[in-house]
A and B are shown apart, each in its own frame.
Chain A
Amino acid sequence: MTVAKIHEKIIPKPSLRKKIEELSGQKISACFQCEKCTNGCPVTFAMDVVPHRLMRMLQLGLLDEALRSDTIWVCASCETCTTRCPNDIDIAHVMDTLRQLSQREGIKTAQKSAPIFHSAFLSSLRRHGRVHEPEMAVVYTLRSGGLNGLRKQAGTGIAMFRRGKIKLLPPRVSAGRQVKNIFKKVKK
């Protein structure tokens, strides 16, 4: 695990706070550090920066540090923080905004697997209109763990196949073109 480094002397950068407030549509400055998000979060044990601290970092404009944290990828999108925030900040959505920025800007992060997963998932969805689970899983496993990774996952794959849980042929959807168009337009 990497621990996001925060310098002892911090010079607040309000412009970066405003940037993330605009992108997420959330009023991050409304956070008064009550820690309800952190107390309800089920995955703080694996985070380098707990949620209320991440919010404080964003208030100070420490965007680079936030983008490099493990936290934005460890967040499981369970929406507990969003549900409980007394200031109506959609914290789970702020996490989304940070993940989007990180992927768009190609930030080098210690947590490499989540971005690889999202790209494997979306490329299968783009190709077929629906996700072809075995294709997505094989592409993800190869890209993240190579042949060794594939070997490790093979047991689960075979067990699923035996149980009739793997459909070898990809789904065929006639609205596939519409889905491809959505991807094309969104990319612009």
Chain B
Amino acid sequence: MEVSYYPGCTVESSAREYGESVAAVARILGIDLKELADWTCCGAASAHATDDMLALALPARNLETADKAGLDLVVPCAACYSRLKHADKALRSSEQIEGVGDEYKGDFSIKHLVDFIWEEVGEKAILEKVKKPLGGLKAVGYYGCLITRPPRITGARDPDNPESMDNILETLGAEVKNWSYKTDCCGAEHVLTMPEVAWKLIQKLFDMAEEAEADAIVVACPMCQSNLDTHQAEVSAQAGKRYNVPVFYFTELMGLAFGDPSVEKWLARHFVDPRPLLGEKGLL
């Protein structure tokens, strides 16, 4: 299976383990991720807060490349995914976007990686590759804001209750806990500018994951992962309660269940080391 792939800026640095685990899992599943030639930044949160045209033109120049390739476009970051979908919607309704010609065919779809793996690769193909089921690992799936919202852009059937990641984790053998916070905001946008606001949102997610009796939170976005994983000391200090919650990328857990040898290298980059938990469960 061949698809276009838009990695996004973080996958090269702060979310390196995400990029590496995505590549490993794709290789195992036989997906050929064709990195979009010469891709550039989507503008993330700053372009849409600054100028409407900038917020469309930055992602649109990548869509032109994807359009020429004609393959479905897979995106691992929720923010990039959202910006690319906004621009795609505008191009499809023939809005004029700076720097983009009018030959846009739009003969491809844009999918977030987690939906792509569940909907296009599917349960059977995943199950075939599972060597070490993740029995005993209790986890909640956390999707964040932009994989599903707003549904007018994403096409999400149930924006408050996405299920693709839960389904993947169950296929891997994990015990997926139900909770109502799958798409509540983690405040990643405020980490640098209003940290005390972000800490409060993060704390809520940790408390609710604990109430759901999960040992770990599983994410599908580099912003969510770094926000939840990096600042647990600060969150604990503000809350007056100590948090030590492992936060996995879903692709890391796929790699673990598939028996990929690089798993430990990815996990060693986390701020909260998930290896003791996995050791306890006999999974590492």
Interface residues in chain A, defined as those with a beta carbon under 8 Å from any beta carbon in chain B = 42-43, 45-46, 73-74, 76-80, 82-83, 90, 92, 96-97, 99-100, 103, 111, 113-114, 116-118, 121-122, 125, 129-131, 133-134, 137, 140-141, 144, 156, 159-160, 163-167, 171, 173-176, 178-179, 181-183, 185-186
In the bound assembly, the distance between CA atoms of A176 and B49 in angstroms comes to 22
Also in contact, A83 and B159, with CB within 8 A (given A117-B192, A118-B50, A179-B58):
yes
CB pair A121–B46 under 8 Å, yes or no, is yes
**Which residues from A are CB-within-8-Å of B39?**
130, 173, 175
Name the residue of chain B whose CB is nearest to the CB of A122: B46
CB pair A175–B151 under 8 Å, yes or no, is no
Interface residues in chain B, defined as those with a beta carbon under 8 Å from any beta carbon in chain A = 9-10, 12-16, 38-41, 43-55, 57-58, 61, 98-99, 145-146, 149-151, 159, 184-185, 187, 189-190, 192-194, 197, 200-201, 230-231, 268-271
Also in contact, A96 and B49, with CB within 8 A (given A76-B190, A131-B44, A141-B192):
yes
**Which residues from B are CB-within-8-Å of A121?**
44-46
Also in contact, A167 and B13, with CB within 8 A (given A76-B187, A80-B185, A82-B150):
yes
Q: Give 28 pairs: A residue, B residue, CB < 8 Å, sorted on A.
A: A76-B187, A78-B149, A79-B146, A80-B145, A80-B149, A82-B149, A83-B149, A100-B50, A117-B193, A121-B46, A125-B41, A130-B39, A141-B192, A160-B230, A164-B269, A166-B13, A173-B38, A174-B38, A175-B39, A175-B40, A178-B61, A178-B99, A179-B40, A179-B61, A182-B54, A186-B51, A186-B53, A186-B98
**Which residues from A are CB-within-8-Å of B51?**
100, 186
| Residue among B10, B197, B200 with most chain A CB within 10 A | B197
CB pair A114–B193 under 8 Å, yes or no, is yes
* Total inter-chain residue pairs, C-beta < 8 Å: 160
Interface of A is mostly: helix
In the bound assembly, the distance between CA atoms of A173 and B41 in angstroms comes to 10
Name the residue of chain A whose CB is nearest to the CB of B189: A76
**Which residues from A are CB-within-8-Å of B12?**
130, 167, 171
Task: Identify which of A130, A141, A183 contacts B54 (C-beta below 8 A).
Answer: A183
In the bound assembly, the distance between CA atoms of A21 and B12 in angstroms comes to 40
In the bound assembly, the distance between CA atoms of A122 and B61 in angstroms comes to 16
Interface of B is mostly: loop
In the bound assembly, the distance between CA atoms of A45 and B54 in angstroms comes to 31
Also in contact, A160 and B14, with CB within 8 A (given A137-B192, A175-B61):
yes
**Which residues from A are CB-within-8-Å of B98?**
182, 185-186
Name the residue of chain A whose CB is nearest to the CB of B230: A156
CB B265 to nearest CB in A, in angstroms, measures 9
CB pair B45–A113 under 8 Å, yes or no, is no
CB B222 to nearest CB in A, in angstroms, measures 10
In the bound assembly, the distance between CA atoms of A46 and B271 in angstroms comes to 28
Nearest 3 CB-CB pairings of A with B: A78-B185, A79-B149, A121-B46
